[in-house]
Structure 1
Amino acid sequence: MKKTIKNLAIVALVAFTTFSFTTIAGEKKEIKIDKSKVVWKGYKVTGSHEGSIAIKSGSLTFDDNKLTGGEFVIDMSTISSTDLDGGMKGKLDGHLKSDDFFGVENHPTSTLVFKKVAASGKNAYTVTGDLTIKGKTNPITFVISIYGNKATASLKVDRTKYDVRYGSTSFFDGLKDKAIYDEFDLVADLEF
């Protein structure tokens, strides 16, 4: 009898310990890439350019309808301007894909992996994640808002942290009106 009680106690202790350290995976919701978009905007001394870039894959993870994680893969080969036409558009798009900027041939994707998610309002979360561009990974913090099956996020990215130095006054002197600011914006409208 004592041996049976002892065995039951051991089984209960092992079960309790196992359940205490086992995380239950949240519900992963895939991003509908055909209904989602990412818009970029870059700034220079004489103005700005904007365009789009496609999501290759992505998901958001929820636990009890609360955001707990996410991960995205961006198809860098799709980067294009939307504020230019014809030859000027082709020239800028090609330059953005070149090694001067995003080196798409050698770095066809960029990624964002959520590392920490904290509620910051009724439908808003502050996210800290790892952003990888051109093989370089840096932490980034941003706010994402979720309404039903849609989410919106705005990120401000310092391109110099990812070895995108072309036209940066942080690395080159005498650029004057040819200077391109180090930070660019990404705005994501997502549906899942």
Structure 2
Amino acid sequence: MKTKFFNFLMVAVLTATLVNCKNKAEEAVTSDAEAAKVSEATSQKYITDVLKSSIEWKGFKPTGTHNGTISIDTGTFEMVDGQLHSGTFLIDMKSIKALDLEGDYKTSLESHLMGTVEGKEGDFFDVNKFPTAAFEITGTEATADGKTLLSGNLTIKGMKNNITFPVSVTATGDDLTITSDTFTIDRTKWGVNYGSKSI
């Protein structure tokens, strides 16, 4: 059986409050966790090409912004009748990278975000306690502009919330590429409260 791969690019903007969002229309709809979609016997299965898949993030603070990437650890998605149906992937939280800094500033920010600095473990993602985050599809809906509204449970630091955001799905031969629109989430809903004025 031929192995099929997919590339996944999620563009997330992590904000502390809605006030920080430049365009509120881009905010991912966030709600309580829902039941994950189950696999179907007739589905086409794809596994993540982790070398070509990533999450791009941007974080806001009063004095500016930072941006970077997080790697996908593992993942599978399934298509039914040419439509995205179900899937899950794990996010390697120990892979957080800052792309806008260099040297000691870069190392300092990455260590703070990952929580590998003694006494600051819980400020952000505490990766030694929570080495992975997860996303599992709970629903999909085709839109008039040819995109797909993707809903899924996002688990960070053991806290699970459902988010909905638009993605573009492109299938070429045995390859599947899923690319999200840029969207925002309120990190405090996942217990990432450091420096937030919204709680």
CA-atom RMSD in angstroms: 1.6
Structure 1 residue 24: deviation in Å?
3.1
1:170 aligns with 2:193: no
Which letter does structure 2 place at the counterpart of 1:100?
D
CA distance in 2, matches of 1:73, 1:121: 30
Structure 1 residue 105: deviation in Å?
0.5
- Identity rate of aligned residues, in percent? 38
Matches within 5 A, 1:147-166: 147-148=170-171, 149-154=176-181, 155-166=183-194
Residue 31 of structure 1 is matched in structure 2 by 48
Q: Which has the higher helix share?
A: 1
CA change 1:126–1:79 in 2 (3 A) is same
Q: How many residues align?
A: 150
| Structure with larger Rg | 1
CA distance in 1, matches of 2:127, 2:190: 13
Structure 1 residue 25: deviation in Å?
4.3
Residue by residue over 1:42-100, the C-alpha shift from the partner in whole angstroms, topping out at 9 and shown as x without a partner, is 01121100011000011221012111122110000001101000111111000001120
Q: State TM-score, norm by structure 2.
A: 0.71
Question: Equivalent of 1:90, from 103, 107, 110?
Answer: 107
Q: 5+ unaligned residues in a row in structure 2: which ranges?
A: 1-38, 116-121
Residue by residue over 1:94-134, the C-alpha shift from the partner in whole angstroms, topping out at 9 and shown as x without a partner, is 00011200010100000000001111146411111100000
Aligned partners of 1:123 and 1:147 also within 8 Å = no
CA distance in 2, matches of 1:64, 1:121: 18
**SS where residue 33 of structure 1 aligns?**
coil
CA distance in 2, matches of 1:83, 1:161: 26
Matches within 5 A, 1:1-192: 24-98=41-115, 99-121=122-144, 123-148=146-171, 149-154=176-181, 155-171=183-199
Structure 1 residue 23: deviation in Å?
5.0
